[in-house]
Amino acid sequence: MDQRATGAERPLPHDFAIVIVGAGFAGLEVAKELGRAGIGVTVLDRQNHHLFQPLLYQVATAGLSAADIAEPVRKVLRGHESVQVLLGEVAGIDAAARRVQLADGASLRYDVLVLAAGAVDSHFGHDEWKPHLLGLKSLADAQAIRSRVLLAFEQAERSPDAAEQQRLMTIAIVGGGPTGVELAGSLAELCRHTLADDFRAIAPEHARIMLIEAGPRLLAGFSQEASRYAEKRLRTLGVEVLTDTAVEDVRDGEIRIAGRSVAVGHTLWAAGVAASPLAAMPGAETDRAGRVLVDETLAVPGLPGVYALGDLAHCPGPDGKPLPGLAQVAKQQGRHLGRGLVRHIRDGAPLEPFRYRGRGNTAIVGRNAAVFEQGGFRIRGWFAWFSWVVIHVYLLVGFQNRIRVSVQWLWRYLTYERGARLVTEEDRLPARGTAAAEPAKTGPHF
């Protein structure tokens, strides 16, 4: 990698190995750029699908099915013959030997290693809360939320106790960022419109949905005007918005806030993230959130041939603060690094600094309501909502997914119906309480 070209293009050694860990937005973009150039690369992920995480909350609230926002990694990359996809879980990284150790005992040698394994939920040092929470980082998480919420209404319908009915129909969402806001708005619409006429003994439209934020306002990364707009819209939907309210304890069927306990059916976590545990494996320097510190070229200092990007990397922006964990950041980093590696490998050109070009922040707050901001350009309401729809359909991987999601959203807009409300026998078996219902977490997607 440190050699310089002696001609217009230099051939690669037959044993030159590039390994990408993670098939998210960043990892896929690197693989595509290398694949277009015909450079051999191995993509490793512990799941066989690429997940469009910005729409996970729609699966969690029965708006979309899992297949609508996921695409097989092999299908995405099958047009690039030099790209190999492997299903496997990383157990360790030996940076000195340049090998990636897999959980099944196998290992992969690398000359270039790209770490793009994403992030996991952070509970701010309260790991004891984890069994009583439902996070939203994977398809399994989203399907668990959908099943547990729907089952809670089914249990409430059968319960003769009014207090127990109210508890089951109380949902606490922790975290007032875009994920928490979007989740709260979608759940409120599910309860007040889709489920309202489906039950006889309970009134789903009277479900209590609490959005709890420790900071002074919702959507802290947006303007004050956007925060006020989001809070007003959520309150119109019946969401109970609690700001300046820290969570003190979470237990099975209970959450403690502001010195009082609230009986809840489920507590959903959208409050914070930390880098994948994979970030610490190669011995790189990390920040307080566990993200790998990288230089301006996305290289990891002190580890030759190792790069980190996406949610796993601490990459400073123009203001010196780390870039946010957004899909657009990961995609731009992946495309930049992929193209840079092609030039570097083929002709020895040095890697260029990464410069992020923000395309704005957006969050949906319910039907016909959203906020979009890019610098001084700010819009709210229906036009922002429609722009959000168009952008997210465009960003979906797979033409058939775009068509399917567009049709489902149009039908839902016209009828308020949500078709992904099936609860299987497998979903029903563990549903005896939040702690029992929580599926075992097996780590991040890498």
CB 262 within 8 A of CB 170: yes
H/E segment holding residue 36: helix 25-36
Residues 6 or more apart whose CB falls under 8 angstroms from that of 161 comprise none
H/E segment holding residue 51: strand 49-51
Does the annotation mark 9 as catalytic?
Answer: no
Residue with tokens 């599926």: 439
CB 37 within 8 A of CB 342: yes
Would you call 169 helix, strand, or coil by DSSP? Answer: coil
Alpha helices in 223-284 (DSSP H): 224-236
β 313-314/292-293 pair status: parallel
Catalytic residue among 182, 213, 231, 438: 182
DSSP letters for 58-113: HHHTTSS-GGGSEEEHHHHHTT-TTEEEEE--EEEEETTTTEEEETTS-EEE-SEE
User: Residue 72's Cα: distance from chain center in Å?
Assistant: 17
CB 209 within 8 A of CB 184: yes
Burial class (CB in 10 A: 0-12, 13-18, 19+), 81: exposed
H/E segment holding residue 42: strand 41-45
Q: How far is CA 238 from CA 183, 208, 210, 366, in A?
A: 13, 8, 9, 12
Residue with tokens 């790991």: 127
Q: For the beta carbon of residue 215, count every other beta carbon within 10 angstroms.
A: 15
Bridge partner residues of 45 (DSSP): 87
Using CA atoms, how far apart are residues 29 and 328, in angstroms rounded to an integer? 11
- Which DSSP state fits 361? E
Using CA atoms, how far apart are residues 303 and 292, in angstroms rounded to an integer? 11
List active site positions.
182
